[in-house]
Amino acid sequence: MNMEPFRHKHQHLWVKQPLILVVDDDEDSLLLLSQILKVFGFACINTLQGQTVLNLAKRYQPDLILLDVVLRDISGVEVIQQLKQHPQTQAIPVIAVTALARVEDREQILQLGWDDYISKPYTLEGLEGLIYRTLNQIGFYQAS
């Protein structure tokens, strides 16, 4: 669990940072997206390999997965099927990050099991808003 100190009026509160698993087969895209997420205040786990996603998700239990649809070693469709079939990972929301931008592509991606979708190139505001909406939907930011 990633914890970050938060200082408020001489008190230290520990706030859990959202953990996001980022999967992209393009090293530059993966690095850029990871750096953006860190600026947004999220912790990241990264992989270029679709084959490792299920194991990483089971081990680290990320709050969200950003998954490219087109990967080199295994299709994103196979990865999403593995995630949604496994009890430890089926509830983790998965957002498709893809260059496929037609309305038909979006509909098909959502039907295949992704929870949401963002097309490349995306705006920083659009990406940040989508991540916060998704984390709010799963109750990440609800007061305890």
Structural domain includes residue 58: yes
The mean pLDDT value for 69-75 works out to 92
Range of the domain at 67: 17-137
Q: Would you place residue 102 in the very low, low, confident or very high pLDDT band (cuts 50, 70, 90)?
A: confident
Number of domains in the chain: 1
The CATH number covering residue 104 comes to 3.40.50.2300
* Position 92 in a domain: yes
Quick check: is 11 in a domain? no
Asked if residue 8 belongs to a domain, the reply is no
CB-based contacts of 52: which residues, under 8 Å, 6+ apart?
Answer: none
Lowest model confidence (mean pLDDT) among 14-23, 37-46, 124-133: 14-23
In-domain check, residue 115:
yes
- The percentage of residues in the chain with a pLDDT greater than 90, rounded to a whole number, is 72
Task: Determine, yes or no, domain membership for 31.
Answer: yes
- Specify if 3 maps to a domain: no
Convert the pLDDT of each residue in 1-33 to its tens digit: 444 444 444 444 556 789 999 999 999 999 999
C-alpha pair distances (Å), 91 with each of 36, 51, 87, 132: 25, 19, 8, 17
Q: Give the global pTM.
A: 0.86
| Residue 5 is assigned to a structural domain of this protein | no
- CA distances 41 to 58, 90, 139, Å, are 23, 25, 17
Mean pLDDT taken over the chain? 88
Chain centroid, CA 84 distance in Å:
14
Averaged pLDDT, 124-144: 87
Alpha-carbon gap, residue 56 to 50, rounded angstroms: 10
What is the side-by-side strand order in the sheet with 116-119?
Answer: 43-47, 19-23, 64-68, 94-98, 116-119
